[in-house]
Amino acid sequence: MRRAAVYIRVSTQEQAQEGYSVGEQKERLIAYCKAQDWLIADIYVDGGYTGSNLNRPGIQKLMAETDKFDVVLVYKLDRLSRSQRDTLYLIEEIFLPNNVDFVSMQESFDTSSPFGKAMIGLLAVFAQLEREQIKERTKMGRIARAKAGLYHGGGYIPIGYDYDHDAGKLVINPYEAEQVRKIFEWYLSGGSLKSITDRLQDEGFTNKYGSYSSWSSVRYILENETYLGRIHFGDVLVEHAHEAIVSEEQFNAVQVLRGKRREQYGATAFQSKHWLTGLIFCGNCGGRYYLRNSGKYSYYACYSRTKQIKSMVKDPNCKNKNWKGPELEAKIDARIRELLHSPEMAADIAAHKPQAAAPVAENSSVEKRIREIDKQISKLMSLYQNDEIPTELLGEQISRLYNEKTTLQAAVTPVVEPTAMPFDLVQELIADAAQIWDFADEAQRRRIAQSLISRIILTDDEIEIEWAF
């Protein structure tokens, strides 16, 4: 007797629709198992979860327990997933390799038959197209609300605001708004995401979602232009849609600092304890320098020269100089001290800083190929509607094209205009840093250095500092 895993999914929008409720799906699927003389191994339910991804507890449990059943049964293909990529992944990478067949009751096919295998690609494409139509309708509704200066409502309401359902607008929550202001203030004073999160917890701050248990909440606040009073959705930008919590100057200064930290450290910011970490680059190959400890000695070396980490090697033939740790640190420390005690030097640097070159778009060829894929899919669908292409070939070709399109879309990178930290904020930073540099610990020096310096370039015996203003 075959063992069946019954999978049921409903999204919030579909729970009240005929044939889609948990109860109705369950009743029909159990009856189907009885008619097939299958033993029900387990019933997996995801209530109120979207089918656009696999972040669902029920589907995750099912994926982990493929040894308990021989077939997965769903009411309709899109109950499994509305994503073509996820559908094919589940069937081809999870079910079939574990000798588990997949059966969709409504479409009357299963993967144990040749026709069922051919139809999977085609039906997955239509499920994907349906999802794209839903997304498009939702997007149009949100664009219309944004143009009217209305918040989209529901879901996540930004910390610092409450949602006025009658007016369709965000209104200030005084207690939370004060927390938002402090977060911007502390970050511009050199705080990291983690240190700010720890401070919020230590001082007992809470918001509508509870305490600040993760630094991701702090990051979201720092990068959310809603706090400028804006509604921004797609190409629609509405200023003064609601009351701002922070000034545009503060917000822009934070974005500059966030961008510089991401460029220097990526996702591993502040994991190293050394104050020059992430700032030093090789003038010969463009690779990074790092601090190596060898017994009693420490020295800075280019990754390309040591080949310590393959992914960090820019030029395997690089022979740029190694620097003794204390020697290089002393030279850079002297340059920073000179800046901190000479306001005129900072003003001169800012006045003569060359304008950054306009960014070059690197996505044109990728975007062109995406447009070509869309045209090819459109042509294939026209051929299918005119009965000019076999079903098996259609499913195979569209599946290949969608996979290529998904890969290309993930590779497209946004082009961001270069910006600089406002000089009045630089002056404040220099004044504050001058008072504590002599007494600062390693962590404090790191924050000051990475706020003042974009990068340090070593070329043989030469040291060039690119300041961040």
Find, among 452, 419, 447, 465, the residue nearest to 281 by Cα. Answer: 465
**306 touches 315 (CB < 8 A):** no
**298 touches 267 (CB < 8 A):** no
* Catalytic residue IDs: 11
Give Dmax over CA atoms of the chain in angstroms.
87
Helices 248-265 and 174-188, axial angle in degrees (round to 10): 50
Calpha distance 287→369 (Å, rounded): 31
Find, among 410, 385, 387, the residue nearest to 129 by Cα. Answer: 385
Question: Can you tell me whether residue 204 is helix, strand or coil?
Answer: coil
Instruction: Return the DSSP state at 157.
Output: P
Q: How far lies 177's CA from each of 41, 185, 221, 270, 313, in Å?
A: 51, 12, 11, 28, 46
Query: Residue 327, Cα to own-chain centre: how many angstroms?
Result: 40
Residues 6+ away with beta carbon under 8 Å from 268 = none
